[in-house]
Amino acid sequence: MYDCSELHFIPMTDVIHQLVNGQTSKDLNIQDRGLSYGHGVFETLKISAGQAVLWREHLDRLVTSCQRLKISTDHLQTDLESDLLKLPVQEQAVLKIIITAGVGGRGYQVPEKATPTRIVQIFPYPVYSDQPEQLGIKARWCQIQLSSAPLLAGMKHLNRLEQVLARSEWSDASIKEGIVCGCDGFLAEGTMSNLFLIKNGVLKTPILHSYGVEGIMRNYLLDLAKANAIPVEVTQLTKADLLSADEVFFCNSLIEIWPLRQLEEHCFEIGPITRKLQSLLKAESL
């Protein structure tokens, strides 16, 4: 439905470039509902070889999320495509898109004729010298639990306070991710990623009907696994399920796949299905 195949990017050397409603700017109205109430959504994409990776999937989720939050999507696709063509970027970079409900007065009621705010940002692509995709990472359990909020589940809305508080639970730079459960005690996700485990050859990931982000890379990996005869299950999972897993990894659109090597005192092997999915992603040239 959404095609960004004709959007090409010009190499750049700037550390960051930002557009607000299509104009180069660092200014935002202080009455913007994204600032006042977190009334908005965002997407973070990888730019590779001058192209927005999985653009269609990110745009589809962005539009759907805006509609769920009653933010107008009139002309959103064409406006964003116009914005992206104005951005000079490196061959590899990070693209962040933020859509808010726009400017409104004090109070929760959504203005009838509010005009959404579009913010498009380019950041340098992160470089990880410790090779987490190959060597795996250390993680920890987080104490905070995600609230049950079915109306918000799945989308990347601007209120990320639970994730901020979860990430604030540690400062040890050797720990790359924390695992968060929902308020029902079942596994949810990482603070910045989705969570997968493999048991007896089956790829499993938590169901996210009440909390969490239904990640673009998460869904892409589920489809990729099915297409390559790897059994998958989207289901409720416990801490015990994770500790007894044969393999565990985290994923998102930027890191792609980071295998879990150590969770506090528990160690894991980087197994064949994790490596196969990494190889399949590489073959897809994402």
Catalytic residue positions, numbered: 44, 156, 189
* Contacts of 249 by beta carbon, 8 Å cutoff, 6+ apart: 196, 257, 258, 259, 260, 274, 277
Nearest to 220 by CA among 198, 253, 191, 171: 253
Structure tokens at 112: 């009838």
End-to-end CA distance of the chain: 20
CA angle 17, 127, 84 (to 5 degrees): 30
CA distance linking residue 125 with residue 262, whole number of Å: 26
In three-state form (DSSP H/G/I as H, E/B as E, the rest C), the secondary structure along 189-229 is EECCCEEEEEECCEEEEECCCCCCECCHHHHHHHHHHHHCC
Q: Which residue has the tokens 């659109």?
A: 253
Q: Which residue has the tokens 């933020």?
A: 98
